[in-house]
Amino acid sequence: MNIPMVDLKSQYLKIKNEVDAGITKVIDNTEFVNGTEVKELKKELADYLNVKHVIPCANGTDALQIAMMSLGLEPGDEVISSDFTFIATVETIALLKLTPVMVDVLPDTFCIDPDKIEKAISPKTKAIIPVHLFGQSCDMDKIMEIAKKYNLFVIEDTAQAIGSNFTSKQGWTKKAGTIGNIGCTSFFPSKNLGCYGDGGAIFTNDDELAEKISSIVNHGMKIRYYHDRIGVNSRLDTIQAAVLRVKLPHLDEYNSARRKAADYYDKAFKNCSKITTPYRSEFSTHTFHQYTLILNNVDRQKLMEHLSSKGIASAIYYPLALHNQKAFQEFDYNPSDYPVTNKLCETVISLPMNTELDNEKLKYICDSVLEFVENK
């Protein structure tokens, strides 16, 4: 068998006719930029997320950058985020000459630790970027409470958790990414809602921010060739929007397929003391962008080699915490502030997770993992 981390080809074959027709239509009508499909996707995604405004852009990294640009932050302002995430989250903070303040994560959910956020706040802090890592929402009750107390903006990085629901202690349920001031997502092919190239989107319920963001994505202009502010060129291709319009109605079904695979894994590893399966928090559904285990006294490298010899892919998200990255050397982070991340970087492993895993493949993966871990 050969089992990759993601299997976009098998997924495509099931929706091929619609996708091909969508792409052909765009080529036929030549609406390559800001075409009808982009406008329709904006509405459909806003409906799905139950959010007032969706502004598509070129990728998830741009979404984060543009979100921060819209908030009027000044160089030297501090933005708090997690140090156990994809670099884009923190890279964009630094790119804008803001100061990234990275905070340790929780050992169970891998999401930012709200208690440590409060300790990291200074008079210069202006915003928090919680990352809904691997498909689960952060504790948005606690984060919104802190933001309110210290008057901070909240930008949710929901690149890995589109479709996840957060249920507040107050009783309401909202989609991850629609709770803070702004939500950002990515349509990178391997994400839960992926297009066939790069893509991203920004969401907000704030009319004023929506107008600013719409202007920033398009060179700061509302009326053509009249520029109100410095912006960027960050648009979602109409062809990508056509692909996403076919896939969006399947998103819930795709997320359940991931959950079903996760359930299978959980059950298979339940009695193995050397493996800790993903924690599921009470306040968020899990859309399993990644299925990530913690290994307890297992030689991770050897396990990966064992899986690879059986044709099974595996990966480490993430092997090096952001505070240890060469790119962030100038900020002089103190490694002892990040005991949880440091440990996770050494002990996590992610198994194949996608919409196309049947029981036969799952059994083969689980048997192969247990065979190594339990020295069978």
Interface with ligand PLP (CB under 6 A): 59-61, 85-86, 88-89, 131, 157, 159-160, 186, 188, 198, 200
Which residue, 349 or 362, is less far from ligand PLP as judged by CB? 349
Distance in angstroms (rounded) separating the CA atoms of residues 138 and 112:
7
The least CB distance from residue 117 to ligand PLP, in Å, is 17
Residues 96 and 118: beta-carbon distance below 8 Å: no
Which residue is closest to ligand PLP by CB?
Answer: 60
The least CB distance from residue 176 to ligand PLP, in Å, is 12
Which residue, 131 or 369, is less far from ligand PLP as judged by CB? 131
Residues 132 and 286: beta-carbon distance below 8 Å: no
Torsion of CA 53, 285, 283, 202, to 10 degrees: -20
Which residue, 134 or 264, is less far from ligand PLP as judged by CB? 134
Query: By C-alpha distance, which of 243, 193, 236 is closest to 49?
Result: 193
Residues linked to residue 186 through DSSP beta bridges, in sequence order: 200
Which residue, 93 or 294, is less far from ligand PLP as judged by CB? 93
Distance in angstroms (rounded) separating the CA atoms of residues 303 and 169:
40
Distance in angstroms (rounded) separating the CA atoms of residues 152 and 90:
17
Which residue, 107 or 197, is less far from ligand PLP as judged by CB? 197
The least CB distance from residue 41 to ligand PLP, in Å, is 16
DSSP SS3 for 80: strand
Query: Whose structure tokens read 């960050």?
Result: 234
Q: Is 113 exposed, middle or buried (0-12, 13-18, 19+ CB in 10 A)?
A: buried
The least CB distance from residue 147 to ligand PLP, in Å, is 19
Residues 1 and 361: beta-carbon distance below 8 Å: yes
The least CB distance from residue 112 to ligand PLP, in Å, is 12
The least CB distance from residue 303 to ligand PLP, in Å, is 24
Which residue, 290 or 368, is less far from ligand PLP as judged by CB? 290
